[in-house]
Amino acid sequence: MRIVYSIIGALVAGILIAVGIVNYRVYRELQTAQTKSQTTQVSTEKPVLIPDNSMISDDELKISKRQMWSDLQRKLKDTVVQVFAQIAEFNWLEPYKTPNQYEATGTAFFINDQGELITNAHVVDQAKVLFIQIPSLGKRRFEVEVVGVSPERDLALLKLKEHDNQELKKDLNRTSIPYLKLGNSDTIYRADKLMALGFPLGQQGLKSTTGVVSGREHIEGQHFIQISAALNKGNSGGPSLNSIGEVIGVNSAIIQNAQNVGYIIPINEVRLFLDQVRSMPATTSVKLLRKPYLGLLYKNGSEMLTKFLGNPLPGGLYIVEVYKSSPLAKAGIQGGDMIYKINGNTVDIYGEMNVPWSAEDKVSIVDYISRLKVGQDITLDYYRKGVAKSTTFKFSQSEVPPVHIMYPGYEKVDYEVIGGLVVMPLTINHIVLIGKYVPDLLEYSDIRKNREPRLIVTHILLNSPASRSRTIGAGAVIAQVNGQKVTTLDELRKVVPQSLKTGYLTLRTVESVLVVMPFDEVMRDERQLSATYFYPLSSLYKNLAQVYQSDKAVGQAPKAPIEVQQTK
């Protein structure tokens, strides 16, 4: 339930809750939890079917249904596991602090005999070590590692460590690991029966609940299947199965204070995720998969707007603006255009369309785009001021805007501390965390404002030159340092040494607040602040100190500004 680069919905805290042990997750700003589940290899035997016989009593019918699910669970033994994640949670305001450490639990399930498992991304987010437990083996733990993760889809691919893979087969007395067969979520309909598996509330025993498919729902940029089977905190990452034991979705979220309203990620999205992760080059220890997007800002069209533009009725999706480096921009689409078809599928004025994989409901253009593969051809039929146009282009991995969500468990987060100011590149993470206290930050989540990097003051150290100035606080966005425009930490590190000549370190915020700090105080206090607040002295300060002390020792005027290397 997240939409990339749009944060307003994410600030509605607690409405949609990830189903797992309570856990802070920036990309949702929701209470999250985790679940683990177990199952065994799908048998070729058909489950017990209920005869079409009107003479069967209600009691007999109930017994027959229970027998069907019971038999299915026995056949799927040891395919669903409980996950134990040892978390080191990053501090987005004081990044030098020791991470908050704890163990969280969740659910996962095997998808092949090679020891690969699927779970939710929020189950393993910022985990340093991961273990699984198989119910039939008690508290014996096996180590797994993260192969790839897509936080925006809330999916993660895990794999047993090689040694533990062999140990598990030995303990199970099997030549291969049991696993679940992936079904087809495009062929399910409302009222279809299903069973959800998981470890609610972090309990040791695997639990099952049954229900039906309630329908499909689009929530904050993601397509879900809504189910009536009970899900609780702790079920995250577990499978939901159809009546023949195939996985049709991954348990993901619930609505707070609602009954029988749970959400699962369609298994066909999992297939797409697996294809993309496996085709990615292994440039880091964990493959971080960002969700591609077309890069447009759109609004509902109308009959009057369509007529005004000279386009044929009933109209199409009205494009307000196109992100300059996005796939659509490269294809020549402009603001003011109206899209009528995507790959032959008619798009209405509300940005919705009928597609084969959702026969009962229309889907949004966002849901449709999420189903496309990188490298796939896209054909757009559109109108520009009454003129019909068409273009075909390849769907490419989108360029990430400078102000975006970051995932400290999988990518490096930089920062600088100088004069008592803790400065970081502005991210969506900061906006989610402190946007309700500094509402002006919300504008930087908009596609029209996130195209340029920004620097944010995340914390002010007490008894520092910055705190003594009494002119700046946490949440301030920096516009200038020493009179020079700065938008990145590299730019900041280049202009700070100018203070050696002027004797002052000055900052100006985007609100035109001017902060002036005597540079002698900045240099004098830095080591004491570092010792008091337990942060490492940066390369910026060390290089400045070398020149500063040298100049003072010989009584010379400060040397010309020096260029320093990146701190972290």
pLDDT category at 555 given cuts 50, 70, 90 is: low
Residue 51 pLDDT greater than 50, yes or no: no
CA–CA separation, 498 vs 483, rounded Å? Answer: 10
Q: What is the per-residue pLDDT across 388-428, written as a single tens digit (0 to 9) for each?
A: 999 999 988 778 889 999 999 899 999 999 999 999 999 99
Which pLDDT tens digit goes with each residue over 332-343? 999 999 999 999
- pLDDT of 257-308, one tens digit each? 888 899 999 999 999 999 999 998 887 889 999 888 888 899 999 999 999 9
Q: Per-residue pLDDT for 326 more than 80?
A: yes
Question: Does the pLDDT of residue 46 top 50, yes or no?
Answer: no
The full DSSP string for 244-305 is TS-EEEEEEEEETT-SS-EEEEEHHHHHHHHHHHHHS---SSSEE-PPP---EEEE---HHH
Q: How far apart are CA 363 and CA 185, in angstroms?
A: 14
pLDDT tens digits, one per residue of 64-107: 566 778 888 888 999 999 999 999 999 999 999 999 999 999 99
Q: What percent of the chain has pLDDT over 90?
A: 68
Pick from 185, 191, 175: nearest CA to 239: 185
210, 234 Cβ separation under 8 angstroms:
no
pLDDT digits (tens, 9 = 90+) for 480-524: 999 999 999 999 999 999 999 999 999 999 999 999 999 999 999
Domains parsed from the chain with CATH numbers = 19-50+57-172 (2.40.10.10), 185-268 (2.40.10.10), 296-394 (2.30.42.10), 416-554 (3.20.190.20)
Start-to-end Cα distance in the chain: 33
Confidence of residue 545 (pLDDT cuts 50, 70, 90): very high
User: Does the predicted TM-score (pTM) go above 0.75?
Assistant: yes
* pLDDT value at residue 58: 54
| Residue 136 pLDDT | 92
Residue 556 pLDDT: 56
Statement: residue 8 has pLDDT above 60 = no
Taking only the tens place, the pLDDT of each residue in 208-254 is 999 999 999 988 878 999 999 999 888 999 999 999 999 999 999 98
Helix intervals (H) in 130-215: 162-172
Only one residue has tokens 């047993």, namely: 160
- What is the reported pLDDT for 14? 40
pLDDT value of position 17: 57
pLDDT by residue (tens digit) across 161-192? 999 999 999 999 999 999 999 999 999 999 99
Own/partner pairs, 187-192, CB within 8 angstroms, 24+ separation: 188/213, 188/225, 188/242, 188/248, 189/213, 189/359, 189/360, 190/214, 190/215, 190/360, 192/242
CA distance 330 to 334: 10
The answer on pLDDT for 562 being more than 50 is no
Q: What is the pLDDT of residue 294?
A: 82
Reference 297, options 262, 271, 334, 265; nearest CA is: 334
